């Protein structure tokens, strides 16, 4: 009897989001190949769902592209690529011609690097009437006009691609006019000519950050969407999800995301993030991520399997209609135990206990039978948390260090 899944899925250097992709595809029988760096190690090769691992000296740039071409030359079937970071997505865009000979590459080459530009995303929003935070753009060395903006402000690079220094600057909060000048002077020295966005930092905690995750076909048509929200994150103010849950969102938010993706003709898995502004009640665009995000596993557990939908669209179209027809169930929540350990928040742990009373807990790195992956994750987590605690103690110069080892190894319920 023919198997429904013949073509491999190639997951690139899986971090948390990549493990979520593996746990979305492996249990249903999709053959998975991991391409990952050898050091510092990733954990994808430890998954029982990974049939082949390809180790590379660097999982970025030309080295990753070369490794993928060499892999593609050995494959019998045209494989489906799964990026989960901007750096990986950039490789797919830059090397589209050579990669598309062997792989289904889930990017629209006509959009290209514009996908990373905050300015392009916000221009789309303006054209479509999608709300955004008040903002201005300026280059390192220029003085931005902030006369119409309300402090605090958040400064981010317009582009996060590596060629623009993507790994050198992430974001910064500017609390007052007095703190703006030294920030602008630093950007002039360190990033002359680089384009930045200075925007109002919308008030509200992590729970006001909502996500519309989608898959769009080659023509940019949205085939299915998932909705959820962060509850906590690490770092606590601007970071990656520590706890998130599946929830329904107002219809206009889903329509905003659909309009942005289809008008921009964006192909592949995406995360469109909004934040509700309590001052006017509007959901305002934060950013469009043109790839899987860290808690995509929660979408799958809630019934919207975006990695599988991408696979069906590109490699098994006879199965597509069934996957598109599935509906979301808001009966679970996501926990990244590493971030919970770093936060050391009593309130966050209480939140997890309360959610567990009426929703099913989905752990970022656990799936039934994944003991090798889980144990390695716990060991690495303990080491990272210990290192961070020591760093904080050293930097503060005071206080007594409190280890975290005991409750990290109590099993799945340790969070």
Q: Is the pLDDT of residue 244 over 60?
A: yes
The mean pLDDT value for 337-358 works out to: 96
Q: How confident is the model at residue 380 (pLDDT cuts 50, 70, 90)?
A: very high
At 38 the pLDDT is 87
- Spell out the domains of the chain, with CATH numbers in brackets: 9-105 (3.40.50), 134-200 (3.30.1490), 206-363 (3.30.470.20), 371-414 (no CATH)
Cα–Cα distance list, 236 to 240, 242, 262, 272, 295 (Å): 9, 9, 32, 20, 16
Quote the pLDDT of residue 140: 93
The top-scoring range by mean pLDDT among 46-55, 236-245, 380-389 is 46-55
pLDDT at res. 395? 81
pLDDT-derived band of residue 163, with 50, 70 and 90 as boundaries? low
pLDDT the model gives residue 389:
87
Phi-psi domain of 141 (left: phi exceeds 0; alpha: psi -120 through 50; beta: other): left
Q: What is the pLDDT of residue 235?
A: 87
User: For 88-96, what is the mean pLDDT?
Assistant: 97
Residue 412 has pLDDT above 80, yes or no: no
Picking from 203-207, 267-271, 272-276, which range would have the lowest pLDDT averaged per residue?
203-207
Pick from 331, 337, 339, 338: which is nearest to 301 by CA?
331
Percent of the chain with pLDDT over 90: 84
| pLDDT number for residue 168 | 58
pLDDT at 410: 36
Whether 376 has a pLDDT exceeding 60, the answer reads: yes
Model confidence pLDDT, tens digit, residues 5-61:
999 999 999 999 999 999 999 999 999 999 999 888 899 999 999 999 999 988 889
Residue 268 confidence (pLDDT) above 80: yes
pLDDT at 409: 31
Q: State the pLDDT at residue 394.
A: 86
Is the predicted pLDDT of residue 170 greater than 50, yes or no?
yes
| Mean pLDDT, residues 190-207 taken together | 93
CA distance 93 to 99: 9
**Mean of pLDDT over the chain:** 92
pLDDT classification of 413: cutoffs 50, 70, 90: very low
**Lowest mean per-residue pLDDT among 62-66, 266-270, 337-341, 389-393:** 389-393
More confident residue, 139 or 401: 139
What mean pLDDT comes out for the span 321-336? Answer: 96
Confidence of residue 167 (pLDDT cuts 50, 70, 90): low
Band (162; pLDDT cuts 50, 70, 90): low
């Amino acid at each position: 009897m023919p198997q429904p899944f013949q073509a491999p899925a190639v997951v690139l250097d899986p971090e948390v989001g990549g493990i979520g992709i593996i746990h979305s595809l492996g249990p249903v029988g999709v053959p998975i190949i991991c391409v990952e760096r050898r050091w510092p190690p990733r954990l994808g090769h430890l998954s029982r769902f990974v049939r082949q691992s390809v180790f590379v000296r660097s999982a970025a740039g030309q080295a990753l592209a070369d490794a993928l071409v060499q892999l593609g030359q050995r494959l019998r079937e045209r494989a489906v690529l799964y990026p989960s970071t901007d750096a990986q997505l950039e490789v797919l865009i830059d090397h589209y011609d050579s990669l598309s000979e062997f792989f289904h590459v889930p990017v629209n080459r006509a959009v290209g690097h514009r996908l990373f530009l905050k300015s392009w995303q916000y221009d789309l929003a303006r054209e479509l009437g999608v709300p955004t935070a008040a903002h201005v753009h300026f280059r390192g060395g220029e003085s931005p006009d902030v006369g119409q903006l309300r402090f605090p402000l958040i400064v981010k690079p317009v582009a996060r691609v590596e060629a623009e220094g993507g790994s050198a600057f992430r974001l910064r909060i500017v609390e007052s006019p007095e703190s703006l000048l030294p920030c602008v002077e630093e950007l002039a020295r360190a990033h002359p000519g680089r384009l930045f966005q200075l925007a109002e930092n919308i008030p509200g905690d992590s729970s006001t950050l909502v996500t519309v995750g989608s898959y769009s076909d080659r023509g940019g048509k949205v085939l299915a969407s998932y909705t959820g929200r962060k509850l906590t994150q690490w770092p606590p103010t601007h970071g990656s999800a520590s706890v998130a849950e599946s929830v329904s969102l107002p219809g206009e938010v889903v329509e905003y995301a659909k309009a942005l993706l289809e008008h921009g003709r964006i192909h592949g898995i995406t995360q469109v993030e909004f934040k509700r502004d309590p001052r006017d009640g509007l959901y305002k665009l934060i950013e469009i991520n043109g790839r899987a995000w860290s808690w995509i596993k929660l979408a799958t557990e809630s019934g919207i399997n975006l990695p599988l939908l991408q696979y069906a669209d590109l490699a098994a179209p006879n199965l597509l209609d069934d996957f598109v027809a599935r509906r979301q169930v808001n009966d679970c929540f996501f926990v990244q135990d590493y971030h919970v350990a770093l936060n050391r928040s009593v309130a966050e742990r209480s939140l997890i206990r309360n959610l567990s009373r009426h929703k099913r807990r989905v752990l970022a790195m656990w799936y039934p039978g994944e003991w090798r992956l889980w144990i390695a994750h716990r060991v690495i987590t303990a080491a990272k948390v210990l290192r961070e605690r020591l760093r904080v103690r050293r930097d503060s110069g005071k206080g007594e260090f409190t280890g975290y080892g005991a409750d990290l190894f109590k099993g799945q319920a340790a969070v």
